[in-house]
């Protein structure tokens, strides 16, 4: 039998070749296109540094993504806790309520927000019908609309990640803490929170990375000052400026990487100090 | 007594909070249904008269129909390819002593962590330098690549719960490795492979940005929706969305059941 363990190794190759062709090689091509055209050039870097607008958009993308990921984590945590405390049979049904929106097309979910927030949308027409306002309020094409829709789109992923981290927790530990005299709040803070924090921050990082690449939602529900790096890349591609688009993509890639590494660091420190009880 | 009361109040508050969040997640999606049944020419709420005018527009407009057919074609190819290639990778990863097997697992899930816009731009530049722009095969390949992690995760999870004794018995009794696998292990793996194929289908069917960058001339359904959403907000989109919402919900429900069935089959 042991001699036979070699014969199936080739089964991995189609997947490796596919990912090399469609993920790895294209990533290398982006690096190449950002600095070679066809000779080495600093044209694209200079263009980014020359005008404030590009760094402003980079900074805005980071800010929006951080706010979206932090708010998602805060909103999702109690939701995941609620589901995990239900009996096993019910958990499936509750999770399904989260799964359905998670798998819905992002275009459709963004369209839904255009319907809800628009001039003649549901909120405006309901408030006018109730006599609360006389004229439509501008909600669509604002930063607020971007946050509300992006959080709605990304929240399910955060809930599911939090939930799966919480299912790993041994609830006997909390019972033990209670028996040893901890109040429910203490047991929560000193036992449950440190154990679930790592999974929560993992979810936050996933949401952060996904928001950094967003472009559908800012383009459709945001105003002209809500554009993000993704929109910039799309515009450059439409104008056939592939080299410059590649440089922006590199900017997106490295800024995401650096912030993710910092968040990981913070997560480790927090978990450590929480379980030591110094917080 | 007081403690019990406050505990039950906080439990109640938590469940109210939960349903509020579910409302926030689902309500905007549900609201598309009545819009799709309006006969108004413009988006307004509530619709002033009802009918299925926009479903007619959708079905009779060749641009919408061609986009739908193209998307189905691409997504079906992707789901078959991803299910086969992904399942093969799982068999190698889970059963063989591969060198660098941890590194390979990370590599297999890497498309999940890279923004689609990055992949889209990379594949676009790559196809341009190879001189094969506007190729539907590049689109199918890229969609298959981003669907692979889902297949590896879903099939891999169900493979880890598999009892391999039966397959080993078949081998001992003289069946070749391929026959032993297909007669003993594959039947219990099949529901998760089908579930993974459904997920892969939607990864491709819903994907906008890669298609937008790679295809010129021909439109997929998300590209058609995107073009319409940017220019005009006609209720055709509400009709299309309603159909897609129903399709997605039904397919995902079946996929979830299949995934769970594998889990419960192997647990008992």
Provide block-wise average pLDDT over 10 residues at a time, chain A (279 residues). 60 95 96 88 87 93 97 96 90 90 92 90 87 88 96 96 91 86 82 87 94 94 93 94 95 95 89 68
Mutation target to probe the B interface, by most B beta carbons within 10 A, among A107, A121, A203, A206 is: A107
Rounded CA-CA distance B165/B151 in Å is 24
pLDDT tens string B9-55:
888 999 999 999 999 999 999 989 888 888 776 666 666 777 888 89
Q: What is the pLDDT of residue A171?
A: 84
Cα separation of B154 and B141, whole Å?
Answer: 20
Task: Supply the pLDDT for residue A185.
Answer: 81
Residue B82 has pLDDT above 90, yes or no: yes
CA distance A269 to A259: 15
Question: Which of B7, B31, B91 is the closest to A8 by Cβ?
Answer: B91
Helix (H) or strand (E) holding A3: none
> Would the ipTM clear 0.85, i.e. be above it?
yes
Q: CA B180, CA B177: separation in Å to the nearest integer?
A: 5
> What's the token pair of residue A169?
């927790």
What is the per-residue DSSP string for B153-201? Answer: HHHHHHHHT--THHHHHHHHTT--HHHHIIIIIHHHHHHHHHHHHHHHH
User: Does the beta-carbon distance from B29 to A104 stay under 8 Å?
Assistant: yes
Q: From the CA of B249, how many Å to the nearest CA of chain A?
A: 6
Span of A189-193, B84-88, B145-149 with lowest mean pLDDT = A189-193
Asked whether the beta carbons of A41 and A35 are under 8 A apart, the reply is yes
How far is Cα B74 from Cα B141, in angstroms, rounded to an integer? 10
pLDDT score, position B141: 97
The pair of structure tokens assigned to B123 is 């594949």
A249 chain-B contacts, CB cut-off 8 A: 117-118, 121-122
The reported pTM is 0.91
Q: Please say whether the beta carbons of B58 and B64 come within 8 A.
A: yes
Q: Categorize the per-residue pLDDT at B267 as very low, low, confident or very high, splitting at 50, 70 and 90.
A: very low
Angle between helices A106-117 and B2-30 (to 10 degrees): 100
Measure B80 CA to nearest chain A CA, in Å.
Answer: 13
Residue B170 near residue B184, CB atoms below 8 Å: yes
Contact criterion met (CB below 8 Å) for B218 and B73: no
Q: In chain B, positions 226-265, which contact chain A (CB-CB < 8 Å)?
A: 226, 229-230, 233, 237-238, 241, 244-245, 248-249, 252-253, 256, 260
pLDDT at position A205: 94
Rounded to 5 degrees, what angle do the CA atoms B111, B115, B119 make?
70
Cα–Cα distance measured from residue A68 to residue A62, given in angstroms and rounded to the nearest whole number: 10
Q: Can you give the pLDDT at residue A3?
A: 41
What integer pLDDT is reported at residue B265 of this predicted model? 55
Phi, psi of B30 (to 5 degrees): -65, -30
In whole angstroms, what separates CA B61 from the centre of its chain?
26
d(CA A200, CA B140): 34
For residue B70, which of B119, B125, B143, B120 has the smallest C-alpha distance? B143
What confidence tens digit (pLDDT) does each residue in B163-173 have? 888 888 888 89
CA dist B256 and B126 (Å) reads 36
HSE-up of residue A76 (Cα within 13 Å, Cβ side): 33
- What are the DSSP calls for A192-254, one per residue? IHHHHHHHHHHHHHHHHHHHHT--HHHHHHS-GGG--HHHHHHHHHHTT-HHHHHHHHHHHHH
If you ran DSSP here, which 8-state letter would residue A85 be given?
Answer: T
Contacts of A18 in chain B (CB under 8 A): 85, 141, 144-145, 148
């Amino acid at each position: 039998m042991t001699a036979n363990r070699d014969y199936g190794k080739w089964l991995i190759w189609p997947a490796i070749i596919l990912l090399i062709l469609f993920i790895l090689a294209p990533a290398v091509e982006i690096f190449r296109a950002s600095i070679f055209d066809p000779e080495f050039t600093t044209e694209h870097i200079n263009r980014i540094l020359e005008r404030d607008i590009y760094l402003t958009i980079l900074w805005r993308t980071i800010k929006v993504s951080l706010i979206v990921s932090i708010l998602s984590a805060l909103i999702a945590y109690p939701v995941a806790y609620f589901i995990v405390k239900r009996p096993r049979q019910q958990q499936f049904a509750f999770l399904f309520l989260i799964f359905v929106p998670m798998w819905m097309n992002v275009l459709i979910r963004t369209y839904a927000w255009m319907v809800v927030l628009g001039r003649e949308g549901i909120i405006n027409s309901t408030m006018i019908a109730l006599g609360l306002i006389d004229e439509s309020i501008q909600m669509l094409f604002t930063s607020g609309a971007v946050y509300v829709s992006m959080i709605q789109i990304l929240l399910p992923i955060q809930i599911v990640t939090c939930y799966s981290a919480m299912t790993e927790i041994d609830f006997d530990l909390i019972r033990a803490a209670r028996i040893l005299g901890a109040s429910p709040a203490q047991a929560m803070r000193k036992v449950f929170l440190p154990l679930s924090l790592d999974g929560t921050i993992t979810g936050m990082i996933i949401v952060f990375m996904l928001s950094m690449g967003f472009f559908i939602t800012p383009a459709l529900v945001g105003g002209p000052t809500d554009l993000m790096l993704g929109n910039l890349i799309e515009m450059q591609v439409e104008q056939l400026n592939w080299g410059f688009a590649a440089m922006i993509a590199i900017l997106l890639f490295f800024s995401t990487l650096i912030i993710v590494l910092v968040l990981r660091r913070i997560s480790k420190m927090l978990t450590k100090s929480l379980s030591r009880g110094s917080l | 007594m007081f403690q019990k009361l406050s505990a039950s109040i906080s439990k109640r508050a938590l469940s109210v909070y939960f349903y509020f969040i579910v409302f926030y997640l689902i309500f905007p999606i549900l609201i598309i249904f009545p819009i799709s049944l309006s006969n108004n020419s413009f988006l307004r709420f509530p619709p002033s008269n009802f009918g299925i005018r926009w479903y007619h527009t959708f079905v009779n407009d060749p641009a919408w129909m061609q986009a739908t057919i193209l998307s189905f074609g691409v997504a079906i190819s992707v789901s078959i390819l991803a299910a086969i290639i992904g399942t093969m990778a799982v068999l190698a990863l889970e059963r063989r002593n591969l060198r660098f097997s941890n590194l390979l697992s990370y590599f297999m899930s890497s498309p999940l962590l890279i923004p689609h816009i990055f992949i889209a731009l990379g594949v676009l530049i790559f196809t341009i330098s190879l001189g094969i722009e506007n190729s539907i095969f590049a689109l199918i390949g890229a969609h298959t690549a981003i669907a692979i992690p889902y297949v590896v995760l879903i099939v891999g999870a169900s493979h880890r719960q598999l009892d391999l004794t039966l397959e080993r018995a078949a081998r001992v009794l003289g069946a070749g490795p391929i026959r032993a696998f297909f007669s003993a292990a594959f039947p219990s793996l099949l529901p998760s492979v089908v579930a993974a194929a459904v997920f892969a289908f939607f990864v491709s069917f819903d994907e906008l940005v890669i298609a937008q960058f790679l295809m010129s001339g021909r439109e997929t359904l998300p590209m058609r929706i995107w073009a319409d959403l940017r220019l005009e907000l006609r209720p055709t989109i509400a009709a299309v969305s309603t159909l897609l919402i129903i399709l997605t919900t039904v397919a995902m429900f079946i996929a979830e059941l299949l995934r769970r069935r594998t889990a419960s089959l192997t647990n008992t």
